[in-house]
Structure 1
Amino acid sequence: MPLDPRAQRLLSMVAAAMPESRQHPSVGQRRQSLAKLMQFARNDCGAVITRDGTFAGPSGPLRYRLYTPAADPHDSGARPGFVYFHGGGLVAGSIDTHDNVAAALAAASRCRLLSIDYRLAPEHPFPAAIEDAIAAVHFAIDHAAALGIDGNRMVIGGDSAGATLAAAVCQQAHDRADLRIAVQCLICPVLDFFNPWPSRELFGTGYLIDRGTWQADLADCLDGKTDVAHPLISPLCRETLAGLPPAVIHTAEFDPMRDEGNAYAARLAEADVTVAHVCHDGMVHNFHALGAILPQAKAALDLVGRQIRSLLQVSSIR
C-alpha cells in the first residue's frame, strides 16, 4: 500500500517545522517535539474518570494516573487492570503528554488503566525505567482491591519505547513467580537495537521518527558499556519466547520499527503464544496517537481494545 495521503501531509508538516541541520537533537528538543506532536492525540473511544496518585518506586515516589471507563450499568465488581507505559524513547513523554492515548485505551479495553510516570534518561539511565516498570506492576497487583482491579486479569502494555518496557516486563514475569500477567499489548513497539532490520533503513529518515533521534535516545539511556542485545533493551533478542502471555501487537507499514514488531509477533506465534497482530497499511510510527489528523487512530485503538477483551476471556495466568 502507498503511504496514506493524510500521513504524508503530517510528515510534510513535521519536516517543515524541523530544520535539516537537526541531525542529533538534544534531549530538550526531543521532549519539546514529542509534546507538540502529542497535542494531536484524541480520545474518541469513550468517557473515562481519572485520579492521580503516587506509589513507592525503587528510588522514590512515582506518579500514576488511574483511568476508569465511565460507569457501565452492566458492570459490577473489579475490572481488569492495565498498566501502561508511554512512548518517547525512554527520554521524553509523560502521563500528561499521553493522557488522551491512555484514556482511549482504558475506554476501548474497558480496563482500569494505570499510566506510569517512570524515570527518564539521561537523568536516570538504564535500568531505571525497567526497574520502575516492574515496580509499577507489583504496585498494581499488590493494591488491586484498592484500585478496583482484578489482579488475576492484568494487561501490561505500552507504545513505542513504552512497548519495550512492556515486553521486557512480560519476559521478566515469565522468569519469576511474583508477577502475574494475562495479556501483553505492544503498539508500534521498539524491540531490537542489535539486528539490522530493513525497515529501519528504508524509513530511517523522514517518517516521523528519524535515525538521529533513536540513536540519541539509545546513547542517553545506556552507559556505552551495556550490550544492546540484552533482552531488557532488545526484547526480540531473548533466546526463547515460549510461555509468554498472549499478545496484542500493532505495527505500521511505514514505521522504521515495523520489521522487528512483525518479527516479534511471528516468533511468539511460533512459540505457541496466542497473538493478535495487525500491521496497519499506509501508516507511520505513532499513528495511533494522532487522531486529530489520522482517522485510522480511533479504529486502531478500538480494535486494540476489542482484542484485549477477547484475550482476557480465554487467557490463563502465567
Structure 2
Amino acid sequence: MNLAKIGLSALLIGSALILAGCSDSTTEHGAAQETQTINIYSARKEDLIRPILERFTEDTGIETRLLTADAGALLSRLENEGINTPADMLITVDAGNLNRAKEAGILAPLESEYLAEVIPAHLRDEDNYWYGLSKRARVIFVNPEMLDPAEIQTYEDLADPRFKGQICIRSSDNIYNQSLVASMIAEHGEEYTQKWAEGLVNNFARDPQGGDRDQIRAAAAGRCAIAVANTYYFGAMQNGSAEDRAVTEKLELVWPNQNDRGAHVNVSGAGLVSASNNAEAVRALIEYLATADAQQWYAQVNNEHPVNPNVAPSETLAGWGEFKADDLNLSQLGELNADAVRLMDRAGWR
C-alpha cells in the first residue's frame, strides 16, 4: 500500500471540501483566507519548515502564511489573542508544549483516519488534539577520553555518585528536561524520581547554562565527561561547520535503557487552533506532512526520526545505529509536567 498516495488522496479530498464551501463564507478569517490560506504559528525555524509548505501549496493550491517564534511566546500569543487569533494551525516542539496548548483550550480535536493509520498511537494525542510529525531522543553523550561509555547505560545511572562533578545538562526551565523528568515519574513514581533528581543535581559539573549544543561542546572540551542532549542537535552539528563536526567526533552517543523500556523520545507536532474555521485545510496539511515523501524530507532537514514507521531515517541518523525507543504515550509528559517542574525545584535543579 502506497502511504504517500493515501495521504495525497486524503488532502485532495479535504481541499475539495474546502473549496466547495467557499462562496458563502463570512467568518472572521475572511472567505479567501478560510478556503485558500492556512495561517500557521510555528516554533520551528522558517528555513526548516518553509520548503515543505511550498511543496504543499504546489500540490494542492492551498496557500500558507507562516509566523515563527519561540514555543513559549507562541502559546502566550495564542492565549492573548483568544477567539480573535488569525492562526489556524500550531506547530511546536515537545509533547509538553502541545499538551499545554490542549489544556489551555488553544487546540481543538481533529480526527483523521489516515493520521491514525500512519502515526503510532503513543506519538499523538489520545484525544486527537495534536499529532507528532517528527521524533527525537534525549540521550547521553560521553567523552571516551574521560569515561568509558559502557559505565553509563541508563538514565538512572545519571544519579550514581560515581559521576559526581561529571554531568553537563540544561536548566530545569527547559521543556526537554521537564519531559525527561516526567517520563521518569511515569516509569518509577514521584518518590523514586525525587531521589534520582537530587542525585543528578549532585553530579552536575557546573551550574546549568546554555542550550543542548553547549552541553555537547562542553563535554567535547573536557569540562564534563557526560552531556545530556537531544539527538537532532548532535545531527545538526555533524552536518554543520568544520568546528562543530570536530566536536562531535570527540563524543560517543549512548542510547539509554536498551535493556528495559528504551530511550526517552519526544516529538515536534501540530494541531488545529480551536478558533479556526479552516479545519479541513489544516487536516489536509497535517496529513500531507505525514506522507512518506514529506516525512523523509522533514526528517532529513531537521535531523530527526520520522514518526511514520514506514519511512527510513536519514543517512546521518542511520549512522548512529538502531535503538529501542520508550513507547510511553507522550500525552503523559504533558499531564505530568507540573509535577516534574515542582520536583526539579525541590531537588535544587535550577
| Structure possessing the higher relative contact order (Cα contacts under 8 Å, 6 or more residues apart) | 2
Larger radius of gyration: 2
What is the TM-score when the length of structure 2 is the normalising length? 0.27
Q: Which has the higher helix share?
A: 2
What is the TM-score when the length of structure 1 is the normalising length? 0.29
Q: Which has the higher strand share?
A: 1
